[in-house]
Amino acid sequence: MKKPNLLKETKQILIRFSEVDSMNIVWHGSYVQYFEDAREAFGRKYGLTYQNYFDNGFYAPLVDMQFEFKNPLQYGDTARIEIEYIPVKAAKVIFKYQIFREKDNALAATGSTTQVFLDSDYKLVLYSPDFYTEWKKRHHVI
Amino acid sequence: MKKPNLLKETKQILIRFSEVDSMNIVWHGSYVQYFEDAREAFGRKYGLTYQNYFDNGFYAPLVDMQFEFKNPLQYGDTARIEIEYIPVKAAKVIFKYQIFREKDNALAATGSTTQVFLDSDYKLVLYSPDFYTEWKKRHHVI
Amino acid sequence: MKKPNLLKETKQILIRFSEVDSMNIVWHGSYVQYFEDAREAFGRKYGLTYQNYFDNGFYAPLVDMQFEFKNPLQYGDTARIEIEYIPVKAAKVIFKYQIFREKDNALAATGSTTQVFLDSDYKLVLYSPDFYTEWKKRHHVI
Amino acid sequence: MKKPNLLKETKQILIRFSEVDSMNIVWHGSYVQYFEDAREAFGRKYGLTYQNYFDNGFYAPLVDMQFEFKNPLQYGDTARIEIEYIPVKAAKVIFKYQIFREKDNALAATGSTTQVFLDSDYKLVLYSPDFYTEWKKRHHVI
């Protein structure tokens, strides 16, 4: 039996002036956008962006997000975000993230996000939508 | 003949940690939110919030915004935003703003915004919508 | 033996237009600011803001933040953030948060944050700084 | 006599989900970041970023910013920001901006920013700092 694929993407970002606080390090809130940037880069690679959810008649809001901060990022730093899709049977989309500081390859942050599906009336979808089941099959993640 | 009313509102805000940049002063982009906070406070007082526009079937996006920065605001400062409605005959909503630093009453920033009306198909509305003409009459600004 | 005090604060916020995304619900990233607003309100009540940390020669960056989203908030909603200080022996500052949607008292989100102390050279402080130990004693949380 | 150089840079951006409001168009406040992204791209090309200012002992905060919005940008759109340096004799750094929607080359927004120099004590610098005069000569903009 074949093992499921590990779907991954890497996204490089340049830390902006406005993302840094008066401690001269990236404000913790900026990492939410970094995760979303990586998630959308993953989505463009594999067909799983917010737009793809909309086009199939669904919303996919976050129900859980977690961040651990290990080493600070500073204005002008280049960071590398590695995102990995975590396969689950439930009607959920789960990602894990690692952010590295390019100049010394130090781990800057880790975390995860979990999304569920809502239909166009904002009702929670308990079973995996067909398009998502198809997506999983197509990418051999189940 | 009676002069038109001057409609004004004042909004006090406390400068947040996240709004300050590594120069230890408020990042210029944060002022967009300060203006919007004042505009919504004005709108709640006089019935002219984004929600009021929606409820009448319109959007009112900005087509122009201008800022002049005079004196810096810092984390922990209290600022007072004074907003004034500028009456015009066109189908536009124009506001002027002054932001004062409470501790010394120094002028921190001034500016203005201009909004137009779009209908629910995002088409520009060339004539003042009825609800807006009624609003102007009710508040004696024309 | 007296039980330690439970230190709490409540902060009311009005959901802004700019905090809402194209799903018409608050974008998940906005909650980072809601937590920080509550944390600073707590800090002003009990003397534990970012400014208090600075004044004592320390930074207190977040090393962990977690969010669970239960029910959506919308533009115009009033939300009530309840923040509680979680006493620990380590040189950490831990808070738990609950955000309620005022109109129906539904739980909108829960979460937690953990801060550590850095000295003015950005070195991690392994033992509780004196000012923090004093603060704990003064508020009977240990 | 040689005409001064026109210094320009072009920066392409992909409109993010979080930058869009409930009208499904980019929130006006997001354009502040777009201008800053273009300004920093220009700065990396020609040696005039926030970091370059710091390294020479100066801050360069904005004293003026202006935006005109012409056509909306939406989530998923690609936009092209064209930034041009406007030479002046005063100790100021002035840029003009044009943002185009790539799919139809429509003009989305225009605007300008003006920066002044502060020394490390946050005092306004009335005469052009040497490094800036040198920079102007090196790039033949005066």
Give the tokens for residue B64. Answer: 């122009």
User: Mean pLDDT of all residues in chain B?
Assistant: 95
pLDDT at A133 over 60: yes
pLDDT at A142 over 90: no
Mean pLDDT of D3-27: 94
Residue C3 lies in a domain: no
pLDDT tens digits, B94-138: 999 999 999 999 999 999 999 999 999 999 999 999 999 999 999
pLDDT tens digits, C110-131: 999 999 999 999 999 999 999 9
Total domain count for chain C? 1
Which residues have a Cβ under 8 Å from the Cβ of A104 and sit 6 or more positions away? none
Question: What is residue A34's DSSP assignment?
Answer: H
pLDDT at D11 over 60: yes
Distance from CA of A28 to the nearest CA of B (A): 9
- pLDDT for the residue numbered B4: 77
Residue D139 lies in a domain: no
Distance from CA of B82 to the nearest CA of A (A): 26
Touching check for A29 and chain C: CB below 8 Å?
yes
Say if the Cβ atoms of A22 and B22 lie within 8 Å.
yes
Cα B134 from chain centre = 20
- pLDDT for the residue numbered B142: 80
Say if the Cβ atoms of B32 and D28 lie within 8 Å.
yes
pLDDT tens digits, A63-83: 999 999 999 999 999 999 999
pLDDT tens digits, C63-107: 999 999 999 999 999 999 999 999 999 999 999 999 999 999 999
pLDDT tens digits, D83-113: 999 999 999 999 999 999 999 999 999 999 9
Full residue range of the structural domain in which residue C52 is found: 8-138
Mean pLDDT of B51-71: 97
pTM as predicted: 0.96
Residue B88 lies in a domain: yes
Q: Which of C22, C25, C31, C77 should be substituted to probe chain D, the one whose Cβ sees the most D Cβ atoms within 10 Å?
A: C22
pLDDT top residue among B22 and D69: D69
Distance from CA of D62 to the nearest CA of C (A): 23
Which CATH number does the domain housing residue C125 bear? Answer: 3.10.129.10
User: Mean pLDDT of all residues in chain C?
Assistant: 95
Give the tokens for residue B67. Answer: 């800022």
CA C30 – CA C50 distance, rounded (Å): 19
pLDDT at A139 over 70: yes
Residue D2 lies in a domain: no
Residue A111 lies in a domain: yes
Residue D29 lies in a domain: yes
Distance from CA of D4 to the nearest CA of B (A): 28
Residue C1 lies in a domain: no
- pLDDT for the residue numbered D2: 66
With bands split at pLDDT 50, 70 and 90, how would you rate the model's confidence at A3?
A: confident
pLDDT at D142 over 90: no
Which residues have a Cβ under 8 Å from the Cβ of D39 and sit 6 or more positions away? D83, D95, D113
Put the strands of the sheet holding D8-14 in their side by side order. Answer: B8-14, B78-86, B92-101, B106-116, B62-69, D62-69, D106-116, D92-101, D78-86, D8-14
Touching check for D67 and chain B: CB below 8 Å?
yes
Residue C110 lies in a domain: yes
pLDDT tens digits, C54-64: 999 999 999 99
User: Mean pLDDT of all residues in chain D?
Assistant: 96
pLDDT at D33 over 90: yes
Q: Which of B19, B21, B26, B32 should be substituted to probe chain A, the one whose Cβ sees the most A Cβ atoms within 10 Å?
A: B21
Say if the Cβ atoms of A40 and D16 lie within 8 Å.
yes
